[in-house]
Amino acid sequence: MNQNQTSPQKRIKWCLDVAFVLVFLCMIFVPFLKLDTAETIDSTLENRSMTKWPGLDLKGEHNEWYGHYVEDRVAFREKAIRFYIKGTYALFHEFSEDLHMYGKDGWIFPADDAYVKAYQHLNTDEALLDNLTTYLSRTNDYLNSRGITFVFTMGLDKKAVYGQYFPDSIHVDETKKGIPEMLSEKLTQAGVPYVIPVKEFQKKAKTEQIYNKSYDCAHWNDLGALYGMQLVDDVIRKDHPELPALLKEDFTITYESKGIEFIELPIKDSVPVCEVNREQHLGARTKKVGRLTTVPGTSMQDYINPDAVCKTKILVIHDSFLEERYKFLTYRYKEVFMVPRQNYTHLQEYVEALKPDVVLFECAQRAFVDDLYAYTELADVTYGE
């Protein structure tokens, strides 16, 4: 009798054990089986582009970035992060997690490990900077041989400008060089025109809010973009004095209250918004631009200003800092082309087809510890006649 009673109990226990194992295996394997393998993924939650496939290679740095690729593309990633953040806030009224953190006086910064190590000067990859410098130097020589002005600019992390608000518990190794400093030295030696405005922005930040306190904590705001583009403009106008200067007076500046987009928390910020205070009638050459080669998931934008006072055309190969910032260009240039920097290998095709007078290459500082490693052809790109 006892044996008959225990037999069903054993079967139930066995079924529960099997179910538990199956659920556990699904939790492990399903997210990896449903990896998002799209060429380009921009995360609104994390304010960055997800790691691209680095290509097949046996080098150690590639092995590390295979791990980053899987971490960024695993299924249900953003849903899990949002659930964790909202749960933490609901239970403990704390805003502290792996993606963002509070600094001093309520300032919010990205908090991923690579971002923090970059602040500490612990992960400056000189080999990567050498590869980028090689690419930029060859690009500069190629464009100069065709009478085209070239400028490189770095979209600085907020920590590079407002480092005084970073937590005191995070220390900088002053015996090592940070990414902006080392790259500036290499570009100077290579003779590449560049704008990496650490000192200029730190000075400007003493009197004006050029990065937001909490909203969109990874990028500059409209004022920062305006002042950054003015510095770029100073370099370009040395070769193109016919180009109207970028003036603050050309914009109406208002302030809007915006909440942090990545989660629904009661955190608001007063954000400056710059709007051109003159009428524009912009057109586009959609068919011609649409025939150009672009990386899947990206596209080129074209803006024609028939009322421009000069005939200067600019091609902008941009990262996230200049994405959708065409308003600082379109009212002054005859034509503006904008394409994401993932398309860097197609530059010669663009130049031959579009014949720009100026090429601007923008790269976010954060990319040097993020997805720039996946651009394995940087030092291999050459230009034909």
Degrees to nearest 5, angle at CA 275 with 270 and 281: 155
The angle, 0 to 180 degrees and rounded to 10, between the axes of the packed helices 179-190 and 126-144 is 40
- What φ, ψ does residue 248 adopt, rounded to 5°? -60, -30
* Cα gap 208→89, rounded to integer Å: 31
Tell the residue number behind the tokens 């080669």, with chain if given.
Answer: 293
* Cα gap 333→276, rounded to integer Å: 14
Degrees to nearest 5, angle at CA 71 with 65 and 77: 155
For 171, other C-beta atoms within 10 Å of its C-beta total: 11
Per-residue pLDDT of the chain in tens (385 residues, 90 and over written 9): 455 556 777 777 777 777 878 877 776 666 666 667 776 666 655 556 666 666 666 555 555 666 667 777 777 676 776 676 666 666 655 555 567 788 999 898 988 888 999 999 999 999 999 999 999 999 999 999 999 999 999 999 999 999 999 999 999 999 999 999 999 999 999 999 999 999 999 999 999 999 999 888 889 999 999 999 999 999 999 999 999 999 999 999 999 988 765 554 556 789 999 999 987 778 877 677 889 999 877 889 999 999 999 999 999 999 999 998 999 999 999 999 999 998 999 999 999 999 999 999 999 999 998 777 667 788 999 998 7
- Distances, alpha carbon 49 to alpha carbons 65, 155, 220, 298, 373, in Å: 14, 14, 16, 12, 12
Q: Distance from first CA to last CA of the chain, Å, rounded?
A: 92
Among candidate residues 60, 175, 65, the one with its CA nearest the CA of residue 122 = 175
Q: What is the pLDDT of residue 127?
A: 92
Q: What is the pLDDT of residue 26?
A: 72
Q: What is the pLDDT of residue 264?
A: 47
